[in-house]
Each structure stands twice: as C-alpha cells, then as structure tokens.
Structure 1
Amino acid sequence: MHDLKVTSWQLFGHDRLYVNLPDGTAIGWADLGSGTITVLHPRYRDAVTDALARQVPDMPALGEAEPPRPAFAPPPAPRIPPLRRTRMRKGEGEGAAARAPETEAAVPPAPGPRVPEQARPPRQEQTSEPRAERDQEDRRQPPPVKQAQARRAEPATGRTGPPELPALGPADDLAARRPGAALREQLGESGAGALVRVATGALRRQKEADPRRTALAGERRVGAELRRLMRHGWRVLHSVPLPDGTEIGHLLIGPGGVFAVHAEHHPQASVRIGDGTLRIGDADPEPYALGDRFGAGRAQRVLEAYCTFPVPVGTVLVFTGVASLDVVTTPPDVRVLRERQVSALAPLSGVLTPTQVERVYDVARHREAWAGA
C-alpha cells in the first residue's frame, strides 16, 4: 500500500513515526527511542513495516512489538485530516496568492495522534489538585513533626500556659500588709485584739519584755530599710502568709532578682554565724541551718508556676541592733547583713527586666497564689 503516509510526532519525551491511512487513521507507529514497532491492526503489519522501511533506511534494526490485546474494544484512533489548502484559479494573480496564507491560517490545526494508554506518560491529573484545596488540607492535617512538638509543649493538664489567678480584690492584696503582721495579731496590735486592749486599758507597759515584741521591732527596722530600695526600682512585700501558718518575713523583688528576707533582732549583742551554728554573746553556739528555712525555695516554686520565665530566689538574713556581726561561712545563695548593709542590694541588676519585675510582683501580692505553697 503506497498510499500510506508517515508523520513524525514528538511529545512528552517520545520520538515516534506514525503510519496513517489516506483518511488520516493511524494504524501503527515506530518508537525511535525504544526501537519497537506497534501495529494497531494486524492486517496492516506488512504495510506498516514497508512504510517505515521507506522512511527510515535502517528500519530492520528496529524491533517489533505487538500491542497487547485488551479485553474490550479500544476506542477508534483519531483521524488526522490532511492540511487543507486553497488552490488558485487562473486569473486570480498575486491578489489570490496574497490571500492564500490567510486561508491556511483560518483552518484550525489538526489534532495530534492519539497516544495509546500503555505508552502514555504518567498522568499529571494525579497531582494537579487545586492549590487552595491542598493548602486547606495541609492546615487540617499538620505535619507529624508539628503534632509531636505540640504534644510535647502541652502539659499533662491540657493547658498550654501558666495558670491564671482570679481578679485581685482588696481582701487578697498582700501589698497592704505591714511588717510583722502575724506578730501584730498575736500581740493584739491589729484586728479585734487591738480594740479589746484599748477597751480594757491593757496598753500599759509590761514588767517583762515579750520576745514577740523584740522580734516585731526587728521586722519594723528591716521593713524600713527595704522601703529605701523602692526608689531604685525594687518592690517589697511584708509578711507573706503560707498555708502552714508560717510566713515569709519580707519579699524583695527587683532587677537583681527576688530575695526572701528574714530579720533577727538582738540588741547590743555580738553575733557570730557560720559552720551551721549561731552564737550570741558568750552563749554556747546553737545549731542554725541557713538552708531553705526562710521560704526561698517555696517562693521560687510559687512564682515560677505563674510566670513564663525563671525566677531565682535567694535568701537574705538581716541582723538588727547588734553590736558586732562575724560571718564565717554561708551557702552561696544566702547573704548575711546588718540592717545598714541592706542598701548594698540596691545596685544589683541583670536578673529581671522591668516588665518581669512587675509580673513577679503582681503574682506575689495575690494571696491566692500562695495557697498551694
């Protein structure tokens, strides 16, 4: 059959020669890349081979492959109509020749030959999902790494941040407490006890000094020294109550960190402290541990529970009214001072920022925060 036409087709990385009937129907092709011949209709086997041999001189080197026979009838191959051209009639001259390109351009290009399913490259539709839908699906299903990070960041209680304190009311605001508030209540200098003492005339001087009054004097003197630090950006709370009935004498909050301050009042006494003992005057040394007995550790746990940053808390032991103070050794997080040495804490800085100082102070002044201390 000499009426067969051989056309070249290159797409998707394939280089083929298609053999078509005079009406444009494809009956076979040769894949120049793989060296195989595919015959769509068995009766045209020889015709397809001869047509390809005329087109490609070394066609005998190409292999031959029969297309698989599907269980169903394949759809008819597309017809490739020949290019339509307008013939010039006699007498039309150059005007008709000038219009010829417009006539050819008006004819739509013929579609390319149909590529069989087995030779067709991977379909792009599998991943051509609209981008908006894919982004939405990604948002609904975060990557496993992000899921794991979210689970690690989430505490066991299901909350992702520190607990919130209730609104601060006058009854829960510790900023109004005075130094030695517990001692004042015991001595009847505040609350109902003061009214009773005034009514019964019991405010006269006692014959023997009450140790509680001596301790209260020390708390007042230390409180006065701590108030001097407020002009340097420090905050002060007094008599912070704890659930077991004890209290932190003073809580100093500022740029240099947080300190649990404890007052010891020993008028005109010589004090020697060190090696876990305390000696006052000529008395025998007594055991005196400087560990967490003044509430520094408990204060740190409470404050860090409501803050999103570390809150280091140290201990400051202040001796008031003493004639001399001899400090041998102390733990690294414990400072032992005389009352006039409290001002040495003012220049300390670099631990908390002004914003962090205010946050710690807001937590520390709330009575509810210390309920679980």
Structure 2
Amino acid sequence: MQDLKVTSWQLFGHDRLYVNLPDGTAIGWADRGSGTITVLHPRYRDAVTDALARQVPDLPALVGEEAPAGPRSRPAPPPVPRIPPMRGMRKRGAAQEAPPVRGPAPEVDVAPDVDVTPAVDVAPVPGVAAPASEVVPAPEAVPVPDVAPAPEAVPAPEGVPASEVVPAQERPRRPAVLPALTPATDLASRRPGAQLREQLGESGTGALVRVATGALRRHKDADPRRGALAGERRVGAELKRLTRHGWRVLHSVPLPDGTEIGHLLIGPGGVFAVSTDHRPGASVRIAEGALHIDDGAPQPYELDGRPGARRARAALEAYCAFDVPVQTVLVFTGVTALEVASTPAGVRVCRERQLSVLTPLTGVFTPTQVERVYDVARNREAWPDA
C-alpha cells in the first residue's frame, strides 16, 4: 500500500509516528519512547511496518521489533428487528403489539486513544417496509485527524524572536528520504577550518610535502589565512566544551557554491550557525551597521541577513518532520576589546570564551529531536540544494 501517510506527533510527553490511510484514518503508530508499534487492524500489520521502514528510515530499531497485535473487536450479536403487523391482520389474543426485542449493547475493545462507536444496522424483512420511526441510522465514522491538537505555547528562548520559534509538533510534515550515511558522506570527522587547511596545504599530500621540505620550521608565515585558521581552531575548541552538556557540533559544513558554514552547533536550545572573524590585537566596536577597528574609519558591517543560518534551516527542515529554527552567532577571536551596541533578533556577537553562555539554553528540541537534526546535518547528501 504505497498511499499510506506517516505523520509525526508530539504532545504531553508522547513522541509518535502515525500511519494513516489516504482518507486520514489512523491504522497504527510507532512510539519512539517505548520502542513499540501498535497496529489497530491486524490486516494492516505488514503495511504499517513497511510504511515506517520506507518513509522514516531513521527508525531501524522500531521497525525491526515484533509489532504487538492490535486489539480485536468482538463482533456484536445481530439485533432482533421489530416486525410491524400487516394491514388488516391482528394477532388473536394479543391486546397490543409486543415491544421490540433489543439485545444488550455490544462490547468493543479498542486501542488507547482511538474512539470507536458501534453502529447498529437493522436488517430489513423482505416484503415489509419498516416505519420511519423504527429506522435507526448508523452514526457516521469519525476519522482520526492527521494533525494533533494545537500544543501549548512555548516561550521563546533568550535571543530568539517569537516569530521564529514554532513548536516542533505544530505542523507535522512528510520529510524527504535521506540516503544512508557512509564514511564518504559523514561530516562528523571534518576539522575546524577544513577549507583553509586545504588552501594552505595542511591537509592530504600538501602537509606531507611541507614536512618533507622543512617548511613548517621556517619563520612565521605572514599569510592572514593562517591567523583565520587559528581563530577557527579556537572556536572549535570552545564549542567542544558544550558537547558535555548534550550539544552536538559539526565543523566546516560544505555548501554547493564552494563556501562553508564554519561551525554548526545543535542542542536543546536550538541550532546555531557559527562564523569566525579573526582580528588579532584589535579593539572592535559594532554600532549602527558599521564596524569600528581601533581608531580607523567605520566600515559597513551587516549582521542581519547572513546566508549561513537561512541555508542551514532550509536543508535541515527538508529531512525533519518538525521546524528547525537556526540562529546566527558571530565570534571575534584575537581581539583586545569587543563592544556591540545592538544586534538584530536571532543574531549573537561574542568572543570565543563567551560561547559558554549557550550551554544552559533549552526548550527548543527534545533529546530525540537533537539526535535527528544532528543525523541529518552530518550527512553530506543533505546539503546539495542548501
């Protein structure tokens, strides 16, 4: 059954993936927390597990387990219809018609969270038309909705505009299928400043050549790219400290146009696209869209509209069944002083040692969602269209 729909639903501590028929009727679900699959109708057992394995490949443990059989409804005994007397005929010795015989209400066992109302159908008797007052219409079936009830409002984390924070469970979507991760597509092994390393010949065969020729023992290289690489390393070291508190970090995420996102920080407080600006020995001040270096003339310096956060959000949401807001963090390294008059919403400016203020941020993602975002972000195949 290729038309089954899989939707994500999180509310009141539950984290489920519902499998629905094309008309919206739920036939089963997978519970991420307990690791079980519930099938509402036994004949859909294989269809439910196949749909979860095909459309949500990040659940191999759930799909591989034996799905508990869905509860079976006991068939209701057929009701005894009331047969009205034909015209012109009257039963001798009977003062009035016998009252209709009605059986007890049928008992139906249903799975939790599913409302099933039994419908009573009265079988017609050939040649006898039942009066309108005796016809009991069967109630209409109420399909289980695809979208869960609207969740309670979640306050926006510090520094995040309320308009940018959308609860992850508010709009379930069908994520695209991401190819399986391989050593060639895993970005988790990339080091900070990978692009700069390649340009400077400090990776692959270039590094071996430099060691063989003794280039590493020469006088200090004045190439500004070396200072920029040192700044990337400092920022990478500071971000690594956050991994002890439930955060995940990737370095040098490559983009199709040849640029890269310096660092991508993923955790309970959201996703942050981190970029580095190395200004050794400088006193920096940012005010009114201008950058002031020491006593020099101000230079135009826009903090808002940086493409890293926007492109990261588009790439991650394509493969996640929830919204993934991404903020911008600009880190100045090597400076003697940093003053920031104001920053746009969703943008942070700090020095490398101030990155620790991100550690206590929470309320955006659950631990399961953090791992899902990280699994998508580390796959190089998720970024070709970013």
Q: TM-score range by the shorter chain?
A: 0.5 to 0.7
Structure 1 residue aligned with 2:277: 264
Secondary structure of the corresponding residue to residue 184 of structure 2: helix
Rounded to whole Å, the distance in 2 between the matches of 1:308 and 1:249 is 26
Question: Does the CA contact (< 8 Å) of 2:84 and 2:130 recur in 1?
Answer: no
Rounded to whole Å, the distance in 1 between the matches of 2:381 and 2:89 is 87
Match of 1:231 among 237, 244, 265: 244
Match of 2:350 among 337, 355, 370: 337
Please give the per-residue CA displacement for 1:203-257, whole angstroms capped at 9, x wherever unaligned.
2435651110010011000011101101110001000000000000000000100
Structure 2 residue aligned with 1:121: 129
Q: How far did residue 361 of structure 1 move?
A: 0.4
Q: Does 1:184 align with 2:197?
A: yes
Secondary structure of the corresponding residue to residue 165 of structure 1: coil
More helix by percentage:
1
Which amino acid letter does the alignment assign opposite residue 243 of structure 1?
P
Q: Which runs of 5+ in 2 are unaligned?
A: 1-82, 91-126, 148-172
Rounded to whole Å, the distance in 2 between the matches of 1:196 and 1:292 is 41
Structure 2 residue aligned with 1:281: 294
Question: Does the CA contact (< 8 Å) of 1:261 and 1:294 recur in 2?
Answer: no
**% of aligned pairs identical?**
67
Q: How does 1:121-200 map to 2 (within 5 A)?
A: 121-122=129-130, 161-200=174-213
Q: How does 1:81-96 map to 2 (within 5 A)?
A: none
Structure 2 residue aligned with 1:302: 315
Q: How far did residue 372 of structure 1 move?
A: 1.2
* RMSD, matched Cα: 3.3
Q: Does 1:12 align with 2:84?
A: yes
Q: Does 1:249 align with 2:257?
A: no
Q: How far did residue 175 of structure 1 move?
A: 0.6
Q: How far did residue 315 of structure 1 move?
A: 0.5
Q: Does 1:214 align with 2:222?
A: no
Structure 1 residue aligned with 2:337: 324
Q: 1:181 to 1:121 in 2, by over 3 A?
A: same
Rounded to whole Å, the distance in 2 between the matches of 1:279 and 1:252 is 28
Please give the per-residue CA displacement for 1:140-186, whole angstroms capped at 9, x wherever unaligned.
xxx8x979989xxxxxxxxx821222221111111101000000010
Rounded to whole Å, the distance in 2 between the matches of 1:277 and 1:346 is 29
Larger Rg computed on CA atoms: 1
Question: Does the CA contact (< 8 Å) of 1:314 and 1:333 recur in 2?
Answer: yes
Structure 1 residue aligned with 2:15: none
Range with greater deviation from structure 2 (278-287 or 307-316): 278-287
Structure 2 residue aligned with 1:362: 375
Which amino acid letter does the alignment assign opposite residue 16 of structure 1?
G
Secondary structure of the corresponding residue to residue 171 of structure 1: coil
Structure 2 residue aligned with 1:3: none
Q: How far did residue 274 of structure 1 move?
A: 2.4
Q: How does 1:341-356 map to 2 (within 5 A)?
A: 341-356=354-369
Q: How far did residue 13 of structure 1 move?
A: 6.1
Rounded to whole Å, the distance in 2 between the matches of 1:325 and 1:17 is 104
Name which structure has the greater RCO, CA cutoff 8 Å, separation 6+.
2
Question: Does the CA contact (< 8 Å) of 1:218 and 1:320 recur in 2?
Answer: yes
Q: Which runs of 5+ in 1 are unaligned?
A: 1-10, 19-116, 129-133, 151-159
Secondary structure of the corresponding residue to residue 215 of structure 2: coil
Question: Does the CA contact (< 8 Å) of 1:273 and 1:326 recur in 2?
Answer: yes
How many pairs align? 243
Please give the per-residue CA displacement for 1:117-148, whole angstroms capped at 9, x wherever unaligned.
7xx53499xx99xxxxx9xxx9xxxx8x9799
Match of 2:214 among 196, 201, 206: 201
Secondary structure of the corresponding residue to residue 16 of structure 1: coil
Q: How far did residue 318 of structure 1 move?
A: 0.8
Rounded to whole Å, the distance in 1 between the matches of 2:210 and 2:325 is 43
Q: How does 1:7-156 map to 2 (within 5 A)?
A: 12=84, 16=88, 120-122=128-130
